[in-house]
Amino acid sequence: MKNLLTAFLLLASTATQAQNFLSWQFSDRYFSFSLGTGTSTYFGELNANNTISDDPSQISLGIEARLLNRIGARIEGSYFTLKGNDANAPDSSFQRQRNLSFQSKNLHGQLHIIYYLKPYQGDYYKRWTFDPYLFGGVGYMRFEPTTELGSERYSLREAQTEGVEYKKWVTTIPAGVGGKFKINEFLNVNIEASYHFAFTDYLDDVSNTYATEFSSTTARLLSDRKDEIGVTNPDFYDQIQPGASRGNPNNNDSFLQLSVKAEIFLPSDLFTGKNKAIIKKPSAY
């Protein structure tokens, strides 16, 4: 009973603080809109060297709300490319002899909870010049690994190169760190690094063993591509055959995103239709 009473008092205190914070916060610009770009690096069986990509490969849109003194929430959607290629693996390695590759165009929706390392200043235009933060959440992603054979591009998921029918949608867990740089009273430039854990080992279409049966000759050629480069390691060449190990099913795939975003603060009455101007001088100016 004592523990229950303590928990109730703590919850009531937290609710009161939140209500007090929000009562004045509603008059401020606590919503913001962001547009970003950056790089995306896949980690899995087809990135033997764990090389970080430096090619711009993503675009994102997001809306963020400041909920409490140090807590915010963000909904974000992004479109990005992931790719990997055994051609980049060390010579004479199993991966080089395996000779697989993939590329996927992905749609990703995410919900983030943001923790700010500095307290809110009370007015959006008085915010910190540099505002660091941590974030985590949950995402849902559509992926479709493809590869080229000859002059055509094929869906690896549909080919069932390992005899497995996997779904094209997957849940992800994002976690990251970032910093907001104040440019003027309306605009921030944000730098972020986020790591995304996927609940699948098939982002690259490589996980377990080579299929033993195929629906077509094309599917067989997409599954085993060692003969396209000849023998680079006799032992690995002989090892690659139907039913043999093709990947490592013990580790799911993941990816890293490095992003830069422009963030603009929105007026508190934007969604009521009373104020059509997004950029308007605050009353203190």
Residue-wise burial string across 160-198, b where 16 or more C-beta atoms lie within 10 A, e elsewhere: bbbbeebeeebebebebebbbebeebbebebbbebbbeb
161 occurs within a structural domain? no
277 occurs within a structural domain? no
pLDDT, averaged across the chain = 88
234 occurs within a structural domain? no
Domain around 128: 24-144+166-201+250-269
pLDDT at 153 over 90: yes
79 occurs within a structural domain? yes
Q: Taking Cα atoms as reference points, which of 198, 61, 218 lies closest to residue 146?
A: 218
Alpha carbon distance 43, 254 (integer Å): 5
pLDDT value, residue 25 = 47
The total of structural domains in the chain comes to: 1
229 occurs within a structural domain? no
pLDDT band for position 261 (50/70/90)? very high
pLDDT value, residue 126 = 84
Per-residue pLDDT tens over the stretch 36-93: 999 999 999 999 999 999 889 999 999 999 898 899 999 999 999 999 999 999 999 9
240 occurs within a structural domain? no
Alpha carbon distance 131, 190 (integer Å): 9
Alpha carbon distance 254, 198 (integer Å): 5
Look up the pTM and report it: 0.85
The domain that holds 79 is classified in CATH as 2.40.160.20
